[in-house]
């Protein structure tokens, strides 16, 4: 059992010794409150102390009633606030859960975005490499076109030279045919000359077969000289 404490207080200029289980300061505060009420009532009325006490008690009761109503309203308000708080808490929990889900989805989207970004960067890098390769192929194609034009020009020149060589070979063939014909003609002429030379040689041998001086007469000598002159002319004509 809690020990009661005695406290001496002054209420409306009278001292009272009060005992209670409450703290002394709490009792002193209550006494000051009652003293303030009675003093305020005493200023407004000249009634004796007991009536002032009743008026103060009524005033205090009115304050208490108002406080009870206010307290009841506050309790109702607190309950409503607690209910709203529970609803807000529930909505907040739902919102937090949704936020967590959205945060997780956002993290997934960030990861997907990061992956897509990496893929895009890889594709962009491949595209840059492809563009460089295309540029290199274009450059090589231009060089090949230049080389092709040069080869075409060389081919045309070679074709022209080939035609010139063919024409030259044709001319050479014709010249060869003419030369062969001339050689054949010369060969025939040589054979004819050889034949004529053989006839001349034979005639000359016959002419050079002179009789002995004892066998020759003057007429024979003259005839032989004419024959010899005729043969010499014939040899010169042949040669």
Q: Does 118 reside within a domain? A: no
Q: Does 39 reside within a domain? A: yes
Residue ending a domain, choose from 51, 69, 97: 97
Q: Does 231 reside within a domain? A: yes
What would the two tokens of residue 177 be?
């045919």
Q: Does 212 reside within a domain? A: yes
Q: Does 86 reside within a domain? A: yes
Q: Write out the H or E segment, with its range, that includes residue 4.
A: none
Residue ending a domain, choose from 75, 97, 119: 97
**Tokens 């003259």, residue located:** 222
Residue 8 pLDDT class (50, 70, 90 cuts): very high
* pLDDT score of 35: 94
**Tally of helices (H runs) and strands (E runs) in the chain:** 3, 2
| pLDDT over 80 (residue 30) | yes
Residue 204 pLDDT class (50, 70, 90 cuts): low
Q: Does 203 reside within a domain? A: yes
CA distance 200 to 236: 10
CA atoms within 13 A on the CB side of 145: 6
Question: What DSSP string describes 189-235?
Answer: HHHHHHHHHHHHHHHHHHHT-PPPTTT--HHHHHHHHHHHHHHHHHH
Q: Write out the H or E segment, with its range, that includes residue 18.
A: strand 14-20
What DSSP state is assigned to residue 16? Answer: E
pLDDT in tens, 78-105: 898 888 888 888 887 887 888 788 888 8
The domain total for the chain is 2
Domain that holds residue 48: 5-97
* pLDDT score of 66: 93
pLDDT in tens, 154-184: 768 777 886 887 887 788 778 888 878 887 8
Q: Write out the H or E segment, with its range, that includes residue 10.
A: strand 5-11
pTM summary value: 0.36
What would the two tokens of residue 183 be?
């050689």
Residue 11 pLDDT class (50, 70, 90 cuts): very high
Q: Does 148 reside within a domain? A: no
What DSSP state is assigned to residue 208? Answer: T
CA distance 71 to 65: 9
CA distance 19 to 27: 9
Q: Does 149 reside within a domain? A: no
């Amino acid at each position: 059992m809690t020990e009661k404490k005695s406290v001496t207080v002054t209420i409306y200029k009278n001292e009272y010794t009060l005992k209670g289980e409450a703290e002394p300061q709490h009792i002193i505060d209550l006494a000051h409150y009652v003293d303030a009420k009675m003093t305020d009532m005493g200023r407004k009325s000249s009634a004796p102390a007991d009536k002032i006490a009743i008026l103060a008690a009524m005033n205090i009761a009115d304050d208490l009633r108002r406080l009870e109503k206010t307290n009841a309203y506050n309790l109702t308000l607190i309950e409503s606030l607690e209910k709203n708080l529970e609803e807000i808490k529930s909505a907040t929990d739902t919102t937090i859960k949704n936020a967590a889900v959205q945060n997780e989805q956002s993290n997934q989207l960030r990861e997907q975005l990061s992956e897509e970004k990496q893929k895009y960067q890889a594709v962009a890098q491949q595209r840059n490499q492809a563009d460089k390769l295309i540029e290199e192929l274009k450059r090589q194609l231009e060089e090949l076109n230049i080389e092709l034009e040069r080869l075409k020009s060389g081919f045309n020149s070679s074709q022209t030279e080939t035609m010139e060589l063919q024409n030259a070979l044709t001319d050479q063939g014709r010249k060869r045919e003419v030369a062969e014909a001339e050689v054949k003609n010369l060969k025939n002429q040589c054979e004819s000359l050889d034949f004529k030379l053989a006839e001349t040689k034979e005639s000359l041998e016959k002419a050079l077969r002179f009789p002995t001086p004892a066998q020759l007469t003057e007429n024979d000598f003259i005839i032989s000289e004419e024959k010899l002159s005729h043969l010499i002319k014939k040899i010169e004509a042949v040669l």
